[in-house]
Structure 1
Amino acid sequence: MAEPIDSALDLLRRLNPKDVKQNVDNIINLNPSLEEELLESVDIPLSVKRCSSTKRDFLCCDYNRDGDSWRSPWSNNFEPPIDEGITPSERIRKMEIKANEAFDVYRELYFEGGISSVYLWDMDDGFAGCVLLKKCTSETAVNGGSWDSIHVFDAQDRARTAHYKLTSTVILSLGTESEALGGLDLSGNMVRQVEQDMAVEDDGSHVANIGKMVEDMELKMRNLLQEVYFGKAKDVVGDLRSIPPLSVTNRDRQTQREMISSMSR
């Protein structure tokens, strides 16, 4: 007999990814004992809270959560306040401040809006952290889209270098609904992972290295979404109903195959 957590994860894979947050909440209501495991295992769209000290918005995930409170990267305080929340050491907190400043610039350059948050925490042989980015085009669920990036990494210190392991998740949701066009819903997520050794001179080098890895990974994942997934959807629509006659399209494809075949010979 399958474990409850395995059954819950299998169920979530079969449901609409656009409703993953609501589905997770429903499963937790049915079986509260699964809350911790589900929140650690399932990527859900990032929620937003306001830092009462700095009046700036920040993103919430399992990595800055302590019970029912979330730590702000801007003030290092929890919202709502708690007595003994877990915070990073002084050295890691200084890096966290620099990383938030750097990714705030990155967010403005690539997203022209949205919200970014970076959280770091101590580990025995280095440190770990996550970079969160969120951009929504509309407040309505039926007309608009959202992009959520969750980049989780760990950095292991070595002599003059560091070994980085990055796991990136992009949650994309696109939807539109009108009387003329009807309804359209494209939602899903993509996960990629990479490991790399990079030179380190000081703590500032860690921020630059992580920034470069996140930038490269987001570019690759965006291109995959555009060229592979949306490109494939375009090909399927083209096969169902092409703009020129299908006979012309098939003739062009045959000519192309013959040219490639003759060149290979």
Structure 2
Amino acid sequence: MASMDPFDSALDLLRRLNPKHTTSHLDSLIALAPDLTEDLLSSVDQPLTVRRCRQTNRDYLLCDYNRDGDSHRSPWSNTFDPPLDDGAGGVGGVGEGGVSEGAGEGAVPSERVRAMEIRANEAFDIYRELYYEGGVSSVYFWNLDDGFAGVVLLKKSSPSGGATQGIWDSIHVFEAIERGRTTHYKLTSTVILSLSDSTAGPDAVDLSGNMTRQVEQELPVETDDSHVANVGRLVEDMELKMRNLLQEVYFGKAKDVVGDLRSLGSLSEGARDREAQREIIGSMGERRGGGW
């Protein structure tokens, strides 16, 4: 029997563990196999972490797409925290002004893509307030050879200290391949949901999981603002679909399981219902036997 690939084995193991503790599980795997660090960090979606931008005093979200080692780029100031060493480069190479473009270490978007990134952050900040009534949002763009790509991050947590706790993390990664007057968008969306309460014992509730969906669409483009509007519509539609699916999967299935484990009615009421059911079935059998 051929030996399994360590990376595939690590992903397979993570799929079987509680998604609520993905970050700690990922840290343990990296400690066991340090050579898989970059592959795991770029492939596994983790609950989003919030950091405060030192220059603008605004919160932003951390992910692998704005990371360079232990530093992360703020979408508000376009700077890394902690600051990078001079000469740090990215996968896209170094562009004008010594700025690296693309996605990767020390990379920041080109002037045109950065302008779209700024408008997208402003738009999704409004979207976050309207749909989530709180939380934190961040948008990061980077250059591609035939277009650009980006990620839209949204996080909402319930107030701490309450009897119940809930965390919603949305990660929307997209590619925009420009083809003249139209652009081909490919969107991959992941929602990480965690729900729990502080009840101890057998009555405690803990629901955690994630869902990933993908969509591709060709849309018309007139100006760069059209890209922001198109991505916004794609993310909005995908979030609505995934929310409805999560409502069915999480709450519908949990309700079915609880209903099978414990009846809401008393034992005497259940016995009467079963007896009435047997009588109806018995009478129907007698009528069929009599030629009805």
**Is 1:18 aligned to residue 39 of structure 2?**
no
Query: 5+ residue gaps in structure 1?
Result: 255-265
Report the counterpart of residue 73 of structure 1 in structure 2. Answer: 75
Could you tell me which residue of structure 1 aligns to residue 112 of structure 2?
91
Runs of 4+ residues deviating >4 angstroms: none
Q: Give the direction of change, closer, same or farther, for the CA distance of 1:236–1:180 in structure 2 (3 Å limit).
A: closer
1:105-144 deviation per Cα after TM superposition (whole angstroms, max 9, x unaligned): 0000011110000000000111000000001103369840
CA RMSD of aligned residues (A): 2.1
Q: Structure 2: any 5+ residue segments left out of the alignment?
A: 89-105, 281-292
User: 2:207, 2:250 within 8 Å by CA — same for their partners in 1?
Assistant: no
| 2:173 maps to 1:156 | no
Equivalences for residues 52-71 of structure 1 within 5 A: 52-71=54-73
CA distance in 2, matches of 1:171, 1:116: 15
Go from structure 1 to structure 2 and tell me whether the alpha carbon gap of 1:153 and 1:185 turns closer, same or farther (over 3 Å shift).
Answer: same
Give 1:174's aligned residue: 195
1:228 aligns with: 249
Please identify which structure carries the higher strand content: 1
Q: Distance in 2 between matches of 1:3 and 1:170?
A: 27
Query: Is 1:141–1:175's contact at 8 Å kept on the other side of the alignment?
Result: no
Matched residue SS, 1:212: helix
Counterpart for residue 31 of structure 2: 29
SS of the equivalent of 2:247 reads helix
Compute the displacement of 1:235 (Å): 2.2
Moved more, 141-150 or 168-177: 141-150
CA deviation string 1:26-59 (max 9, x = no partner): 1111221111010011111011111111011110
SS at match of 1:204: helix
Instruction: Please say if residues 134 and 149 of structure 1, whose CA atoms lie closer than 8 Å, have aligned partners that are also in contact.
Output: yes
Residue correspondences, number: 251
- Cα-to-partner distance string for 1:212-246 (whole Å, 9 max, x where unaligned): 00000000000111123311221232233343555
Show the counterpart of 2:121. Answer: 100
Partner of 1:51: 53
Give distance in 2, aligned partners of 1:242 and 1:129: 49
Task: State which of 198, 205, 212 in structure 2 corresponds to 1:191.
Answer: 212
CA contact (8 A) 2:198 2:204 kept: yes
Alpha-carbon spacing, 1:169–1:204, altered in 2? closer, same or farther (3 Å): same
Q: Contact (CA 8 Å) 1:162, 1:198: kept in 2 or not?
A: yes
Distance 2:56 2:77 in 1: 7
- Give the whole-Å Cα distance in 1 for the aligned partners of 2:191 and 2:261: 29
Higher alpha-carbon Rg? 2
Distance verdict in 2 for CA 1:62–1:180, change over 3 Å = closer
Q: Are residues 96 and 30 of structure 1, via their aligned partners in 2, closer, same or farther at CA, if it must alter by over 3 Å?
A: same
Per the alignment, residue 286 of structure 2 pairs with: none
CA–CA separation in structure 2 for the residues paired with 1:86 and 1:195 = 26
